[in-house]
Amino acid sequence: MDWLEDNTASRRDGIERLQQFLAADVAQGSDSYDLPYDYSQEAKVIRQLLTSDMAIYVVDAREPVLGKYKDELAILSWAAIPVMPVFNFTDSQNANIDDWQTMLARRNLHISTRSIRLLLSLRMRCAYGKT
């Protein structure tokens, strides 16, 4: 997020900012040590995001709401596609559902779902090659 804030024009829309990032050297990946950062893995995710119809954002409800998660959601919003938050580990005593829902609502994400069973089912289907 810091690179995006420092190196893209804030007046551009989100997709333009993400495309500018993808065109930058830091997103290309390099074995060279000339660049201070290698964001090639993040670039892979953003490239996929820009070709997707929607994104599923899996939230570990046991985690506190941290700045890095806020940054991730800001970047997801720049892709201009629907984002569906899915809460995982909601049955934990340490679940921070209210904090997460407050943060998500502040980012115009008012609908979410809670389903460990769904996630396990999807993982099993992917693991066994079923869709």
Number of domains, the chain: 2
pLDDT in tens, 26-61: 888 765 556 667 788 889 999 999 999 999 898 988
108-112, long-range: CB < 8 A, 24+ apart: 108/77, 109/73, 109/83, 109/85, 111/84, 112/59, 112/84, 112/85, 112/86, 112/87
Confidence class of residue 131 from pLDDT cuts 50, 70 and 90?
very low
Beta strands at 83-88 and 55-60: parallel, antiparallel or unpaired: parallel
Over its C-alpha atoms, the chain yields an Rg (Å, rounded) of 17
pLDDT in tens, 21-33: 999 888 887 655 5
Domain of residue 103, residue span: 52-131
pTM metric for this prediction: 0.74
Pair 105, 56 in one domain: yes
Are the C-beta atoms of 112 and 86 separated by less than 8 Å? yes
Pair 67, 3 in one domain: no
Last residue of a domain, one of 51, 75, 90: 51
CA distance 113 to 116: 10
The pLDDT of residue 18? 93
pLDDT in tens, 70-128: 999 999 999 999 999 988 888 888 888 999 999 999 988 888 888 655 555 555 555 55
